[in-house]
């Protein structure tokens, strides 16, 4: 992880990923029939596991990260669970998970005729503006000098902001 690109105006050395309250998100597009087929392509080219996420997985990660924070008082943890907002765009399912319009089968789907490249660019711009541009040094992929290739469509996002990112991506994909 090249943090010097993610954290603006800082010069930091390369380091291994250690954040427990953040996640590296990869945002990409595919014309494959399934998102899983694209994830398998990434796994084969990068030679390491790639996990597709949904809000249920994000919630599990967030809960696990919250449990590790033993320094927080129980009162602080109770307040962190409170919310004053009610999101009418994302509906709750019977199992308690939140649904995001346009998200199904592991990814966001776009109606035919819309430019996937333009939509992907809009999503990347939104995330680059919010979180900076991260360069991930992939040791599975090699460049022409046989050095780790740098992937740039990854974003270091606080776990608690991922649901908001899902809603923003859903809005871009739906054209609203």
Q: Is position 75 within any domain?
A: no
Q: Is position 83 within any domain?
A: no
Domain range for 117: 3-12+19-68+89-174
Q: Is position 109 within any domain?
A: yes
Task: Kindly provide the residue ranges of all beta strands, DSSP E only, lying in the chain, ordered along the sequence.
Answer: 22-26, 91-92, 98-99, 103-104, 107-108, 134-142, 148-158
In terms of pTM, does the model score above 0.85? no
- Each residue's pLDDT, cut to its tens digit, for the chain (176 residues) gives 444 444 444 445 556 667 778 888 888 888 888 999 999 998 898 888 888 888 788 778 777 766 665 555 555 555 555 544 444 445 555 544 556 878 888 888 887 788 989 999 999 999 999 988 777 778 788 888 888 888 878 888 888 888 889 999 999 998 87
Q: Is position 78 within any domain?
A: no
Return all residues near 160 (Cβ < 8 A) that are at least 6 apart. 21, 62
Q: Is position 47 within any domain?
A: yes
Q: Is position 73 within any domain?
A: no
Total number of domains in the chain:
1
């Amino acid at each position: 992880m090249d943090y010097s690109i993610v954290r603006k105006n800082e010069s930091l050395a390369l380091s291994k990923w250690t954040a427990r309250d953040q996640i590296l998100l990869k945002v990409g597009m595919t014309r494959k029939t399934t998102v899983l087929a694209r994830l398998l392509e990434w796994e084969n080219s990068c030679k390491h596991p790639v996990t597709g996420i949904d809000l249920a997985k994000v919630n599990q990660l967030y809960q696990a990260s919250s449990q590790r924070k033993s320094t927080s008082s129980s009162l602080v943890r109770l307040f962190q669970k409170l919310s004053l907002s009610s999101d009418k765009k994302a509906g709750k399912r019977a199992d308690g998970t939140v649904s995001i319009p346009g998200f199904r089968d592991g990814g966001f789907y776009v109606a035919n005729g819309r430019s996937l490249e333009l939509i992907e660019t809009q999503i990347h711009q939104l995330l680059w503006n919010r979180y900076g541009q991260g360069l991930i040094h992939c040791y599975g992929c090699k460049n022409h000098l046989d050095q780790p290739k740098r992937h740039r469509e990854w974003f270091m996002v606080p776990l608690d902001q991922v649901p908001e990112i899902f809603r923003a991506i859903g809005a871009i994909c739906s054209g609203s």
